[in-house]
Amino acid sequence: MVSFKRVRHIIVAVAVLGGAVTLDHIALAQEPAAAEAVQQGSREQQLREQLKGILQELEELKQGRENTLPPAEQPKTVTEKVSPEQSQVTGAMPEYELSDTSIVSTRFQKRPEGLSLSATDPSETDSQPTRTVKESLESLPGVVLRQANGPRDFSIMIRGQGAKTTFAIRDIKVYEDGFVQTQSDGLSRLDIHDPWFMRSTEVIRGASSSLYDNYALGGMVHFRTRRGSDINGAEVFGSGGSFGYHKEALAVGKQYENLDVSLFASNVGEDGFIRHSNYSTQTINLNLRFRIDDKQNFYFKAITNWLDTLVPTRLTQAQFTFDHRQAGNAPQLGQRRLDRRTIVGGIYERQINANTVLTLEADYDVKDINQTFNQIGDSINPNFKHYADLRHDGHLFDMPLRSYVGFFLNNMEQESQSFQNLADGRGTRGRLLQNSRGTIRNIGGRFREELEIVPNVILAGGLGFEQSMLSVQAINYGPAGVDPPSPTSASRTFTNWAPEMALTWKPTEAYRHWVRASTGYGIPGFGNVLRDPVTGLPGTNFNLKPQKNANFEIGTESKLTETLTVQLVGFWTFFKDELIARAVSGTNVATVNADSSQYRGIEAFYDWRPMTGLRLSGAYTHIEAKYTNFSDQINTAAGFLVRDGKNVPNVPTDVFNSKIAYDHWPTGWGAWVEGSYYNSYFLNNSNTFSIPSYVVANVNIHKNFELNNSWFRFAKFFFEVDNIADKKYAASGQVIVGETPGQAALQQAFFAGYGRAFYGGVTLGLF
């Protein structure tokens, strides 16, 4: 037994060295010159090794003391998180703050075990605070973003899931600071996320409905905004660039004794690279984290985004070849989006005892959209979401056990109308085509157990259950005086289960190996059931089934040396009744179920820092996606066409991103160059028409000044050139109809990627 005197010496040593480590972390974030000095010297490494041993001994002493005390007198446990940037100093594997952690206080529940996950480095957004989150997310393995119909509207694909949508995000759950951003019909949009607000983004890859419920077929994306303590005052940002781009933004943040507050606001506008794509968008994001007392915390969040953008039409192959910047027939249709999205919510956290935490969440999320395309649509979607989670750290016999149980209820309504577009160049409404009112209600629960069966070997198991009720009433209108209104209604109830098992082995803190079997599910949404499957026009499609998948993976995350970290994952996903978005008539899209398909591939990532300030990183994804049982029908005359063995369209098979970055901390200068490669992939089910492959390279230089006077704390300048070779390429495609290359070439498929573009800007830290 160690004496009390020895314990006191340990505590003093920890306090002294802990203060040094804390100062190191602050230096890394705010004073690069000091950070470099801290990182040098063998003496520092010796101290860190001593600190590691002292912390371990102190933990053993604490555990021994807790085991001798009654539960009511045991001290509460606080586990400190190791951020990705801190891991470069301590030598530990990075811990990621995911949506099921304490996002209010310093209390931290570790990430779920047995998952494929990765996170962007804060430098990804700090050195390139430009247009979209694509610029940082494309550095992660398994993640692909492609341009949709708006300035920040990108689809996200993870392991092939989410690839078929032509706008927004489906089949993937999206969070921001622990708040669900996905509405109850499965739709998420990136319009609301301004990259300048973000500190980092975390991604869980693979089916995850046992953790994140409906629509988590591909995984989960979690955006993390900067806290008030990260800002510590006020910041103003201004930038400009090619094609009329400009951005003005403000951040105000501060951490007080019991309160952390951050407020962000931005205004962005651009003429656009493609004609008829100019836009204006404004975003406000408010965060209040309040520690009520030692056992209670409350977090309030409010986000709102206004968007006014013109939208070009996708181009046929001939149009793209002739003039890839043209807008197609968009000016004639007056294509436009006038959208608003607002989310207001609160999270209450209560520590019931030393090892148990209760979390309650309530959100209000409303989307009000007015969009002019081939048809003109008005829709409003008020959405209420409620969650209750209970976490407990305990033991099963002598084995550590982490337990989790949660319940949720959410309800979304929709009122919408579709009108004929008179195509007079002004987006004038013609006759009413359809009006509808619907409700989607999801109710369910989930639990998860993580048992350390032997030291460093953790067995995790979870199960999610959800009952979803979709009810809709619609009236379809034919030409006046020809066809009478056709009312129709449907009420569907879907019951889904999502089991999961994983085994993780951590031989040392620098290595993590895992195997995982998980499942996902996603029910049809309003947009799926209110489109005729033959014409793609407003109608009904009530026979759709929910899609389900089963994911199997094996992976390793290893810190091979003090400077080199790698991650390698192999996966195989089996799909049943996949919801396929199919262009059935021009740009009109309808949804069908593909009986079965499978996706398999590998994901690789490396992060090598051979010297101070130098970072080489890269992410590679390979996917083979094929139908195994699917009979397609492009029109009634052609009958059914067997697609077994064909590649699933719009899923890129090879994607590679590589980046070399160097920051010279003493001078504040930094630079990076990156390249992204996308190979060719098919866009139609017959596999006769494909999107061209391309390589795009970007370069950036930046300079940080530490000012430290009464008015200005710092200044950060950046200058960036995107697509330095001015490569002409198609940034995204969509699933199209057409059996032969000639037929497919007549379909509108391509959005052009930006040509060479120059951007520059400055962030000023005030007061």
Are 260 and 227 in contact by the 8 Å Cβ rule? The answer is: yes
pLDDT of amino acid 526: 83
> Each residue of 683-701: pLDDT tens digit?
998 999 999 999 999 999 9
Structural domain includes residue 147: no
In a domain, 373, yes or no: yes
Residue 203: inside a domain: yes
Identify the domain boundary among 26, 52, 75. 75
Beta strand pairing status for 690-691 and 486-505?
Answer: unpaired
φ, ψ of residue 58 to 5 degrees: the values are -65, -40
Cα–Cα distance between 523 and 544 in angstroms, integer?
A: 9
Q: Residue 239 in contact with residue 716, Cβ under 8 Å?
A: no
Do the Cβ atoms of 318 and 745 come closer than 8 Å? yes
Same-domain status, 57 and 193: no
Do 579 and 597 contact (CB within 8 A), yes or no?
no
Apex 693 CA angle, 687 and 694, nearest 5? 165
Q: How confident is the model over 42-71, as pLDDT tens digits?
A: 455 556 556 656 665 555 554 444 444 443
Phi, psi (degrees; rounded to nearest 5) at 645:
90, -10
- Does the pLDDT value for residue 81 go beyond 70? no
Q: Are residues 610 and 476 in the same domain?
A: yes
Q: Are residues 195 and 324 in the same domain?
A: yes
Residue 632 lies in a domain: yes
Parent domain of 66: 1-75
Whether residue 137 is contained in a domain is answered as no
How does residue 151 score in pLDDT terms, banded at 50, 70 and 90?
very high
- pLDDT tens column, 470-508: 999 999 888 866 778 888 888 899 999 999 999 999 999
DSSP state string for 701-750: EEEEEE--SSSEEEEEEEEEEESTT----EEE---B--SSHHHHTTS--B
Domain containing residue 398: CATH number: 2.40.170.20
Torsion of CA 215, 216, 218, 219, to 10 degrees: 150
What is the rounded CA–CA span in Å between residue 720 and residue 306? 27
pLDDT digits (tens, 9 = 90+) for 275-301: 999 999 999 999 999 999 999 999 999
142 within a domain of the structure (yes/no): no
**Based on C-alpha coordinates, what's the Rg of the chain?**
26
Q: From 707, 698, 744, 750, select the one nearest 134 (Cα to Cα).
A: 698
How far, CA to CA in Å, does 175 sit from each of 100, 178, 231, 590?
10, 6, 22, 28
Q: Is 87 a member of any domain?
A: no
The label of the residue with tokens 């003039």 reads: 323
588-623 per-residue burial string, b: 16 or more CB within 10 A, e: under 16: bbbbbbbbebbbbbbbbbbbbbeeebebbbbbbbbb
Chain mean position to CA 668: 31
Q: List the one residue out of 296, 363, 411, 306 whose CA is nearest residue 99.
A: 363
Q: Let me know if residue 136 belongs to a domain.
A: no
- Dihedral angle of Cα 253, 359, 215, 189, to the nearest 10 degrees: -20
Decide if 752 contacts 699 (C-beta within 8 A): no
Structural domains in the chain (count): 2
Domain-ending residue, one of 75, 95, 118 = 75
Distance CA 253, CA 265 (A): 12
Looking at the structure, tell me whether residues 41 and 184 fall in a common domain. no
> Which stretch, 80-94, 626-640, 734-748, has highest mean pLDDT?
734-748
Which of 25, 54, 75 finishes a domain?
75
Are residue 576 and residue 439 in the same domain, yes or no?
yes
The answer to whether the beta carbons of residues 227 and 262 sit under 8 Å apart is: yes
Average pLDDT, the chain: 85
- Range ranked top by mean pLDDT from 74-78, 107-111, 283-287: 283-287
Environment class of 240 (CB within 10 Å of its CB; exposed 0-12, middle 13-18, buried 19+): middle
Q: 577, 545 in Cβ contact below 8 A?
A: yes
- pLDDT higher than 60, residue 106: no
- Give the C-alpha separation, 131 to 123, whole Å: 16
